[in-house]
């Protein structure tokens, strides 16, 4: 979201997202249709709707740039080594995620920045690699 905010001119707090993952069968199974909707309900001085729409053809480039920025966090190694557990109070629901790397304005995140872990996206300084992307 931060990377898209830089590209389109809207502040990150005015952008919202929805992630869709749908399976073709009624009983669940693998997801065969996926999509991301990024929208804003505010127009005017913050940016232009055309700027947000113009990011669609460059989405792969924007995603790659966002993943590059996530490789190192200013709070590493503390951020990368954090494991979700039941003893961490308000940080129990996320792993390698902090205000320096993944947390965004809560008005933009439908589930209040819960269940985030940078280590699930790409290789961090932690020992085990469960990264989805390799860059």
| Tens digit of pLDDT at every position of the chain (135 positions) | 888 888 888 887 788 888 888 877 666 667 778 888 888 876 655 556 678 888 889 988 998 888 888 888 887 877 777 777 666 666 667 777 777 777 766 666 666 777 777 777 777 776 666 777 776
3-state secondary structure 62-113: HHHHHHHHHCCCCCCCHHHHCCCCCCCHHHCCCCCCCCCCCCCCCCCCCCCC
Q: What is the pTM of this model?
A: 0.66
**Distance (Å, whole) CA 34 – CA 39:** 17
Domains of the chain by residue range: 1-70, 72-135
| C-alpha dihedral sign at 53, 56, 57, 58 | positive
Q: Please name which of 109, 87, 113, 130 lies closest in space to residue 12, comparing C-alpha atoms.
A: 109
């Amino acid at each position: 979201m931060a990377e898209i905010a830089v590209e389109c001119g809207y502040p990150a707090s005015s952008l919202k997202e929805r992630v869709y993952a749908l399976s073709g069968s009624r009983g669940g199974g693998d997801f065969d249709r996926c999509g991301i909707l990024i929208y804003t309900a505010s127009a005017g001085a913050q940016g232009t709707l055309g700027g947000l729409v113009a990011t669609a053809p460059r989405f792969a480039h924007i995603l790659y740039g966002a993943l590059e920025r996530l490789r190192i966090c200013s709070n590493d190694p503390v951020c990368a080594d954090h494991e979700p557990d039941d003893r961490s109070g308000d940080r129990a629901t996320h792993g390698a995620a902090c205000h320096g790397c993944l947390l965004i304005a809560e008005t933009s995140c439908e589930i209040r920045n819960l269940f985030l872990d940078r280590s699930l996206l790409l290789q961090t300084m932690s020992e085990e690699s469960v990264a989805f992307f390799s860059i």
